[in-house]
Amino acid sequence: MFSFFANPARFMALSRWLAPVLGAVAAVTLLIGIVLGVTAPGDYQQHQTVKIMFVHVPAAWMGLFCYACLAGASFFGLVFRHSLADAAAKSAAPLGAGFTALALVTGSLWGRPMWGTWWAWGDARLTSEFILFVVYLGYMALHLAIDDEQRAARAAAILAMVGVVNLPIVHFSVEWWNSLHQGQSVMAKGGPRMPAAYLTPLLLMTLGYTTLFGSLWLVRIRAEVWRRRALTLTRAQTEA
């Protein structure tokens, strides 16, 4: 299966129609999720601030998911030396960094009225999420710092594999250490611990974020493939 999708011609043919389809699904689900989120009732403790959850929680999930995609593509690129896998990893980094930044910003906006502070370095979830953002930035900076694309891809892939260690720390930090964050509410034992008025828009926003990432990721990979083809053609013409 990997060899099928790793073929550049097959990927370009598949992504040509899949990217807009995912984009359309993202637009519909995000629109419905936003409407349901805005009209959801206020919480008896958090009041209207609870609605930040509909933006913050999916963004935090996507920060982890995007990095998992980046690391997986980096692994295949490093082991099999496949240029399409390298392009996929490189294309995922800015998207993952964007979602992680959104999670950090909205988390601070929520934390100020709820915790009385914009930031708490002592909280493991906050600190590990910030480290995830820094790793994203480091990955992109390393790609830009090395002129040779193959060397840059290998070095960045190694950094991406090392950064995987942080993913379980972000996810399980609430369980492993004392945290200002609450425990699992959606994937808790015994089922979700929130009413449908909150759960439905939260899941819709998560689906919208995921399909939006899928659409943008495919578009970015396609652009990277075209850029590399143009660069190869330019070099061939120059050498001729």
| Chain mean pLDDT for the chain | 85
* Tokens 């939260």 -> residue: 202
* Predicted local confidence at residue 108, as pLDDT: 86
Give the separation between CA 121 and CA 124, rounded to whole angstroms.
Answer: 8
Lowest-confidence pick of 93-97, 208-212, 225-229: 225-229
Q: Which comes out higher in pLDDT, residue 81 or 70?
A: 70
Residue 183, pLDDT above cutoff 70: no
Residue 117, pLDDT above cutoff 80: no
Q: Which comes out higher in pLDDT, residue 183 or 148?
A: 148
Residue 205, pLDDT above cutoff 90: yes
